[in-house]
Amino acid sequence: MKIIKSFVLLIGLCVAGLTQAEGHLKVEDAWVREAPPGAMVLAGYMQLHNHADKNRLLVAAQSPAFESVMLHKTVIEGEISKMVHQPMITIPANGLVSFEPNSYHLMMMKPQQPLKAGDKVSVTLSFKDGSSEEFSYEVRATMGGMGTDHSDHNMGHQH
């Protein structure tokens, strides 16, 4: 009987630990902008919520659907829009960072195959503490054309 109680307690602690770990970071509205066939760069967006009591430091992203994924931010200087590589993005404790057009975004380079609206791609976000989490992103049709972010990615790019 003592062994059964110990086993039940151990399972309960494991389940509680998993629930707590999963509840710290939440991604909502994760999507990738559909691009014309042959496009070499797409943009990824999301709402990244940190429910932990300490900051999370996002340092990288990767996806099997792309040759590479980089963290970027659109910066407007005067009338010029620039894409600036971000080596790290702080997700504040109990806070939110929006990845959206003309702000932070995932620069997703060289799709491994054409992506169309409705497709799903897996993206893994990696953090400075060595942890990583995988999320599913939906490919969405662009409304009104490719007028923002990576429509002309070679213009104004900085590392």
Structure tokens at 41: 């760069």
DSSP letter, residue 34: -
Determine the pLDDT at residue 19: 33
**pTM of the predicted structure, to 2 decimals:** 0.76
- Give the model's confidence band at 56: pLDDT under 50 very low, under 70 low, under 90 confident, else very high: very high
**Is the CB of residue 105 less than 8 Å from the CB of residue 70?**
no
- pLDDT band at residue 24 under the 50/70/90 scheme: confident
Spatial separation of the C-alpha atoms in residues 67 and 118, rounded to whole Å: 21
pLDDT at 36: 87
> Residues 50, 54, 59, CA angle at the centre, nearest 5°?
65
Contact by Cβ (8 Å): 41, 97: no
pLDDT, tens only, 89-114: 999 999 999 999 999 999 999 999 99
Higher pLDDT, 147 or 99: 99
Amino acid, single-letter form, for residue 121: V
